[in-house]
Structure 1
């Protein structure tokens, strides 16, 4: 029993130690903190980028040469918390995913974001408006009141006739 307990304890400690060794450590210049709007664009489209990684009032040098747009500058925005910039994707850009990079002016922190170039413009979602013309109207859709009254009368006659036939059948009189 003690041997099994020691074996299990030793295995748990070894797995924990391996987990500590394998766990990745991220430094101060990690990427992925550059926001790209829109994230998908057609060649010739304008792209805005922003990051909060450069601190309050910070600026950055942007690099969109991967997509062929070259360098651009990120300057402090109106709220002084994010650095904002923009660039235009060249009309000759090929479809694909491109990494956009910015390096903060102070400290040199490097942040990245992805831009997808497509040949078709992303569509805005369109919501239908109005009514569907199916040929089946409703009683309250503004149709002729005479037709509505005739329909209600026809339904009443059908209901009364059906009730009378069922009553006769239940009595055994037949049809």
Structure 2
């Protein structure tokens, strides 16, 4: 009996796990569902950058009052665009804005419907970072300087000076004088 109990228990657990996974997939995500209520463009911006906010949630020709106070930009008006389908507004992110994700809201004028979108403030723009290449022109030269002959001559001059100084100190220590 014991032998059949284990396989049945394993089969029952596998069936339960499969049922839970199927229910989770068919129910749809409860969090992180793309709302699509407020479009923030660009979605990632550096402090001082301009942002456009657009929503179709207020209906054709609808307007809204936007709130970008979370990022420090205050309120803005969203008016129907040239096609009178979406309500559109713009604001500038303050130069003092700190990096992070901020919620931008819009409240439709007629219906009072409140919709949201996210704005990400970063310290770098979307451009790739460029790292310096090559040598620094300081006038001093370097180990692999622009001319290896000059570098070798400089090393030889330093070696001669070091040998001469050592020879003079050695003579002085023996009492031979200079």
The one-character-per-residue Cα deviations of 1:125-149 (angstroms, maximum 9, x if unpaired) are xxxxxxxxxxxxxxxxxxxxxxxxx
User: Which one of the candidate residues 116, 122, 127 is aligned to 1:123?
Assistant: 127
Aligned position for 1:156: none
Aligned position for 1:95: 99
Please tell me the root mean square deviation across aligned C-alpha atoms, in Å: 2.9
TM-superposed CA distance for 1:32, in Å, is 4.4
Question: Structure 1: how far apart are the matches of 2:53 and 2:73?
Answer: 13
Question: Structure 1: how far apart are the matches of 2:75 and 2:104?
Answer: 10
Question: Structure 2: how far apart are the matches of 1:109 and 1:89?
Answer: 25
Aligned position for 2:164: none
Question: Structure 1: how far apart are the matches of 2:72 and 2:96?
Answer: 8
TM-superposed CA distance for 1:123, in Å, is 1.7
What does 1:1-175 correspond to in 2, within 5 Å? 32-123=36-127
The one-character-per-residue Cα deviations of 1:37-75 (angstroms, maximum 9, x if unpaired) are 000000000000101110010000000000000000000
Runs of 4+ in 1 over 6 A off after TM superposition: none
Question: Structure 1: how far apart are the matches of 2:82 and 2:67?
Answer: 22
TM-superposed CA distance for 1:105, in Å, is 0.2
Higher RCO by CA contacts (8 Å cutoff, separation 6 or greater): 1
TM-score (norm 2): 0.53
TM-superposed CA distance for 1:122, in Å, is 1.0
